[in-house]
């Protein structure tokens, strides 16, 4: 799943499904009564996996974009195939829940096509997610992996702002304080350019920063807009909601790739520059949202934020060895502020 789909998966999974079994258990407290210590093992395993997933996800995209190859794949096409893989994954889970392909097709027809008004509501966030994911590829292409990870946390700030504007929801003083610390930390990371022993001529840090900030703004708006839809729409399963998104995401990403890279696509084909690594990047991108959904379902938001913070640290360490990244004092201080702000916001929200 994509970055924007994380919120989609998590929010939708809280919804009940009329007459249908949900893939995730309905209440983690039930597990606590019956599992005891195995639950701790499960939560720890999910936490470790999500940290690994976040770290590898960032490093994979960065490496796939800066490696020396004759043909570099098109990010717009990668987003298109991610959307296709997403709908295939969701349909497979629906088949698992419904026990047959025929039941899955009947359910898709009823909840996606027959209920067209509800499906049309997700058009805006679906298109925004496509644009956002293209921007994240641009950002990862021009920013160091660690810098990209830190900057991407700006989506916490933008989500909070749109929560106030769109949902009219109040934010506590402690949350505003944590958002201020987050913003300062991200600014410090960008204030002084970090050095690398390896130079990448194609890197444009300012373009990368612009793309990352734009993606975070779109992520905040789309996430809150989608949350508002969920509050006024009939409840559907997490998988069906993502099928609805893909109905608009697939054509949107296809036309975007044609519009953006039509010359290369018409001359070389859509699979220009594709190899095993690119397919791994696409698969890993799709896995990301599902991992977050499972983490929040079984461990909660605080655990998710802990995994995000741990991934920032592991990405920085990995970048030092893989990309010869040399973090300066401002980067380290700014990163520390971002990690602190994530926990401050998380605990303020839970209280």
Per-residue b or e along 95-124, where b marks 16 or more CB atoms closer than 10 Å to that residue's CB? bebbeeeeebeebbeebbeebeebbebbee
Nearest-angstrom CA–CA distance, 169 and 230: 16
The residue count of the chain comes to: 351
pLDDT band (50, 70, 90) for residue 6: low
Q: According to the model, what pLDDT value does residue 174 have?
A: 84
- For the chain, count helices (H), then strands (E): 15, 2
Tens digit of each residue's pLDDT (9 = 90 or more) over 7-66: 554 444 444 334 444 444 444 444 444 445 676 777 777 778 888 888 888 888 888 888
With respect to residue 31, please indicate whether it lies within any of the assigned structural domains.
no
With respect to residue 294, please indicate whether it lies within any of the assigned structural domains.
yes
Token pair of 161, please?
């702002």
Nearest-angstrom CA–CA distance, 222 and 4: 8
Nearest-angstrom CA–CA distance, 152 and 136: 9
Per the prediction, the chain carries an average pLDDT of 79
Yes or no: say if 255 and 248 are a contact pair by the CB < 8 Å rule. Answer: no
Tell me which residue range forms the domain holding 316: 5-13+39-350
With respect to residue 317, please indicate whether it lies within any of the assigned structural domains.
yes
With respect to residue 206, please indicate whether it lies within any of the assigned structural domains.
yes
In the 8-state DSSP scheme, what is residue 153?
T
Q: Which residues pair with 195 in a beta bridge?
A: 326
Considering its fold, how many domains does the chain have in total? 1
With respect to residue 18, please indicate whether it lies within any of the assigned structural domains.
no
Name, of 87-91, 171-175, 204-208, 325-329, the range with top average pLDDT.
Answer: 87-91
With respect to residue 174, please indicate whether it lies within any of the assigned structural domains.
yes
pLDDT mean over 197-222: 80
With respect to residue 25, please indicate whether it lies within any of the assigned structural domains.
no
Q: Please, which residues have CB within 8 angstroms of residue 96's CB and are 6 or more apart in sequence?
A: 23
With respect to residue 196, please indicate whether it lies within any of the assigned structural domains.
yes
pLDDT band (50, 70, 90) for residue 234: low
């Amino acid at each position: 799943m994509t970055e924007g789909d994380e919120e989609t998966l998590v929010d939708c999974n809280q919804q009940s499904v009329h007459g249908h079994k949900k893939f995730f258990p309905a209440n983690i407290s039930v597990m606590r009564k019956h599992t005891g210590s195995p639950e701790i093992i499960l939560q720890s395993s999910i936490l470790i996996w999500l940290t690994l997933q976040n770290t590898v996800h960032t490093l994979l995209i960065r490496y796939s974009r800066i490696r020396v190859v004759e043909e570099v794949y098109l990010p717009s096409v990668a987003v298109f195939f991610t959307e296709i893989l997403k709908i295939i994954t969701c349909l497979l889970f629906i088949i698992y829940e419904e026990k047959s392909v025929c039941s899955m097709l009947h359910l898709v027809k009823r909840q996606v096509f027959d209920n067209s008004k509800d499906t049309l509501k997700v058009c805006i966030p679906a298109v925004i997610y496509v644009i956002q994911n293209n921007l994240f590829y641009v950002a990862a292409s021009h920013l160091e992996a660690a810098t990209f990870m830190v900057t991407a946390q700006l989506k916490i700030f933008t989500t909070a702002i749109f929560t106030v504007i769109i949902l009219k929801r109040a934010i506590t003083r402690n949350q505003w304080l944590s958002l201020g610390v987050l913003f300062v930390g991200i600014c410090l990371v960008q204030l002084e350019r970090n050095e690398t022993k390896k130079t990448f001529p194609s890197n444009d840090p300012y373009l990368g920063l612009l793309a990352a900030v734009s993606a975070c703004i779109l992520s905040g708006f789309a996430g809150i807009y989608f949350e508002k839809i969920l509050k006024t729409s009939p409840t559907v399963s997490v998988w069906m909601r993502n099928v609805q998104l893909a109905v608009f995401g697939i054509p949107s990403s296809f036309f975007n790739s044609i519009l953006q890279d039509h010359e290369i696509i018409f001359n070389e084909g859509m699979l220009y520059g594709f190899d095993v690594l690119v397919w791994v990047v696409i698969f890993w991108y799709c896995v990301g949202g599902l991992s977050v959904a499972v983490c929040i379902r079984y461990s909660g938001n605080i655990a998710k934020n802990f995994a995000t913070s741990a991934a920032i640290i592991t990405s920085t360490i990995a970048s030092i060895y893989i990309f010869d990244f040399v973090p300066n004092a401002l980067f380290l201080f700014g990163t520390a502020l971002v990690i602190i702000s994530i926990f401050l916001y998380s605990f303020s929200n839970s209280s």
